[in-house]
Amino acid sequence: MKARIRRGCAAFAMTLTVALVASCGLEAGRSVPLEVDPGSIQPIPELQGVRITVGSKDFTEQEILGLIIAFALDAAGAEVRDLTDIVGSNSLRDAQVRGQVDIAYDYTGTGWINYLGNEAPVPGSQPQFEAVRDADRAAHGMLWAAMAPVNNTYAIATSARTAEETGVRTLSQYAKLANTDPAAAATCVGTEFSVRQDGFPGVIRKYGIDAAKVQKQVVDDAIVYQSTADARQCRFGSVAATDGRIPALDLRLLEDDLGFFPQYNIALVMRADFAEAHPRVLDVLTPISQLLTNESVTELNRKVDVEGREPADVARDWLAAAGFITIP
């Protein structure tokens, strides 16, 4: 796989603090990385020359989603600044609350648990969306809109071979194995998943895993997938359900039989005052959200993480194939 070019001020730091975002400022963003022409998205007079900064987190799916927003708004005539690839959920969130990022796709479960501090998810995609939408607007003036069908929930995965050897198909069975034979349940967890309450600490509590016994290795998210498939460094691993490496490596997702993980549907997030000032932004982006399914997003991710293509190319080609834009 070829190395991917990382963009923006976040690319030059291992971590991104709010101070770094502030010091880089909006000028740290760039214009969209590739040219686009209108398709079904036509220039909108109300957006002509409007400066809009688009953000995303620093993993494949988020980069693609952020660039989809950027290309679409560029085709509509906005003056788009690309501030995708921000390191970590909290850094993107802080940048949005402070007005340094105008719009991004985020996850309803992340909003409910991480940003709003709730411990228990709301069952069901639509009820979870409505709960985070109402609470975040009331508490922070943030607007959630245009929820997509895609639900990129966290999961624990294993290889087909390990599933066959251990008989583990559910998280309850994984918990039993972790408590009785910790080495057989050695687990790689991504950095953020290792500390999030909707991540591994919560899994341990919900499923009654003995934290003193569990064999856990905290590694970069990109390492989890191949390590789990190889079953040498670890036999189980934390994954995102729409990652394209899951089908490519023949990984199996364990059933969350106690219903621990929240719904993680993506939705557009922006400050309410920005949305009120520029209502046509939702006119442009809502039809795009409607096409973002688990299947379509998994395939977009696969093109980057398995085929080694650039996120910008993948995002632009998808928009063009759907007729939203044309490629000059």
Task: Look at residues 223, 253, 283 and tell me which one is the last residue of a structural domain.
Answer: 253
Check whether residue 106 and residue 210 sit in a common domain: no
3-state helix, strand, coil in the chain (%, to 5): 45, 20, 35
Check whether residue 213 and residue 278 sit in a common domain: no
* pLDDT band for position 27 (cuts 50, 70, 90): very low
Check whether residue 127 and residue 274 sit in a common domain: yes
Check whether residue 306 and residue 240 sit in a common domain: no
The pLDDT of residue 307 is above 50: yes
For 29, 215, 219, 231, the CA distances from 94, given in Å and listed in that order, are 16, 33, 25, 38
* pLDDT band for position 28 (cuts 50, 70, 90): low
| Cα within 13 Å of Cα(10), Cβ side | 27
Q: Cα 83–89–94 angle (5° rounding)?
A: 70
Determine phi and psi for 120, rounding to 5 degrees. -110, 135
For residue 144, the surrounding DSSP H or E stretch is strand 142-145
Determine phi and psi for 216, rounding to 5 degrees. -120, 135
Check whether residue 169 and residue 248 sit in a common domain: yes
> Could you tell me the CATH number of the domain that includes residue 205?
3.40.190.120
Q: Is residue 237 within 8 Å of residue 163, measured between CB atoms?
A: no
Look over the chain and give the mean of its residue pLDDT values, rounded to a whole number. 91
Domains held by the chain: number: 2
Over residues 82-89, the mean pLDDT reads 94
Looking at the domain assignment, is residue 3 inside a domain? no
Residue-wise pLDDT tens digits, 169-203: 999 999 999 999 999 999 999 998 999 888 999 99
Task: Look at residues 253, 279, 312 and tell me which one is the last residue of a structural domain.
Answer: 253
> Could you tell me the CATH number of the domain that includes residue 101?
3.40.190.10
Looking at the domain assignment, is residue 242 inside a domain? yes
Check whether residue 96 and residue 79 sit in a common domain: yes
Looking at the domain assignment, is residue 130 inside a domain? yes
For residue 300, the surrounding DSSP H or E stretch is helix 294-305
For residue 72, the surrounding DSSP H or E stretch is helix 60-75
Query: For a pLDDT cut of 90, what percent of the chain falls above it?
Result: 87
Alpha helices, DSSP H, located in 108-187: 108-110, 125-140, 160-166, 171-180
pLDDT of residue 181: 97
Looking at the domain assignment, is residue 249 inside a domain? yes
Residue-wise pLDDT tens digits, 281-303: 999 999 999 999 999 999 999 99
Check whether residue 317 and residue 217 sit in a common domain: no
The pTM (predicted TM-score) of the whole model is 0.84
Of 6-10, 40-44, 155-159, 274-278, the least confident: 6-10
For residue 82, the surrounding DSSP H or E stretch is strand 79-86
The pLDDT of residue 4 is above 70: no
Which positions ≥6 away from 141 have C-beta within 8 Å? 271, 272, 273
Check whether residue 232 and residue 303 sit in a common domain: no
Looking at the domain assignment, is residue 1 inside a domain? no
Range of the domain at 194: 154-253
Query: For a pLDDT cut of 70, what percent of the chain falls above it?
Result: 91
pLDDT of residue 29: 67
Looking at the domain assignment, is residue 259 inside a domain? no
pLDDT of residue 171: 98
The pLDDT of residue 315 is above 60: yes
Task: Look at residues 206, 226, 253 and tell me which one is the last residue of a structural domain.
Answer: 253
Check whether residue 133 and residue 186 sit in a common domain: no
For residue 69, the surrounding DSSP H or E stretch is helix 60-75
Check whether residue 105 and residue 44 sit in a common domain: yes
The pLDDT of residue 7 is above 90: no
Check whether residue 207 and residue 281 sit in a common domain: no
Residue-wise pLDDT tens digits, 54-74: 999 999 999 999 999 999 999
Check whether residue 248 and residue 171 sit in a common domain: yes
pLDDT of residue 24: 40
The pLDDT of residue 14 is above 60: no
Looking at the domain assignment, is residue 33 inside a domain? yes
- State how far the Cα of 157 lies from the Cα of 47, in Å rounded to an integer: 44
Looking at the domain assignment, is residue 4 inside a domain? no
